[in-house]
Amino acid sequence: MREVAFIKQNKEKWLNFEQAIFGKTLKNPDELASLYIHLVNDLSYAQTYYPKSKTILYLNNLAAKAFQKIYKTKREDTNRFVHFFKVEVPMIIYEYRRYVLYAFIIFLSFVAIGALSAANDASFVRLILGDSYVNMSLENIEAGDPVAVYKSGSNWGSFIGITLNNLYVGIKAFIFGIFVGLGTAMIMLYNGIMIGAFQYFFYKEGVLWESVRGIWIHGAMEIFAIVIEGAAGLILGASILFPKTYSRLTSFKMGVKNGVKILISTFPFTIAAGFLEGYVTRYSNSMPNWLSVGIIVITLSLISFYYLIYPFILNAKLKQTYAII
């Protein structure tokens, strides 16, 4: 069958199915599952006979959205909060995994730029961090406590202030994605260059290890969360630039919805990072190495597993459950 005839034959069925997914005209999960089987068969046929066609992209995207809706309506766990973090967000992360990769590449590139700039320009660190902060840090290094800045203020006050600031940065990184992703890139540029210059400063002063074992107690989750929030902003920007088979408005709505869900998922990690910065980091210089390194490894492992490993595990599990090809 020619592809044109294949599309003409199934076009009405696909449009009805699209209405069922995005227009919520079908509320019966069994009826939706039945239509889904037909869709998967059409996708399989298209992959076999029209391997380079855009029809495959369209059907594959419909199948992914249908899968999420079917699983949502048939799930055994009725706790909406648990389902959100256990299934919904990981599946969105899996669907947009390329944007998570892009966010890491962009952010780490800016970190490298910050470090290289600091290495080649003695005034760069002061330009980025400010004279007062650099002078204070030099005094702390001379006093034998490079990260003494984290001891200022009360535990509770530091926790609240730091957490609110980090939440603000994350929300801004997402919202600025509306400027076709460029706003998000600017937020990542500023934070990435600052981190690169910041860490090089401590390296130059010979206290890199002391700074790492202190700063990254909270920084592992804090910075990782910013990158994920950056990915959400890139998704928002891409929904405007690349609507695919959808209208630009529909694509934008999907980008906002999925981006907000990813953004919200980072909040527990951001709050945990704020708690660690307010209550734990200030004691890093008196901790044994194994304890500070252990905290860094555990926090980094938790957030890495949730965003980089668990989505793939869950996707494989659900594919096996519902026999998705």
Q: Return the closest-CA partner of residue 277 out of 194, 157, 158.
A: 158
pLDDT mean over 194-222: 94
Query: Higher confidence at residue 251 or residue 185?
Result: 185
- Per-residue pLDDT at 76 exceeds 50: no
Give the pLDDT of residue 303. Answer: 97
CA distance 209 to 1: 66
User: Of 306, 271, 263, which Cα lies nearest the Cα of 87?
Assistant: 306
pLDDT more than 70, % of the chain:
89
pLDDT (0 to 100) of residue 32:
65
Could you read off the pLDDT of 94-130 as tens digits, one per residue? 989 999 999 999 999 999 999 999 999 989 999 999 9
pLDDT confidence of residue 31: 63
Lowest pLDDT segment from 2-16, 184-198, 285-299: 2-16
Please give the full DSSP string across 208-271, using - where no structure is assigned: HHHHHHHHHHHHHHHHHHHHHHHHHHHHHHHHHH--TTS-HHHHHHHHHHHHHHHHHHHHHHHH
Encoded amino acid at 233, one letter:
G
pLDDT at 34: 66
Q: Does the pLDDT of residue 73 top 50, yes or no? A: yes
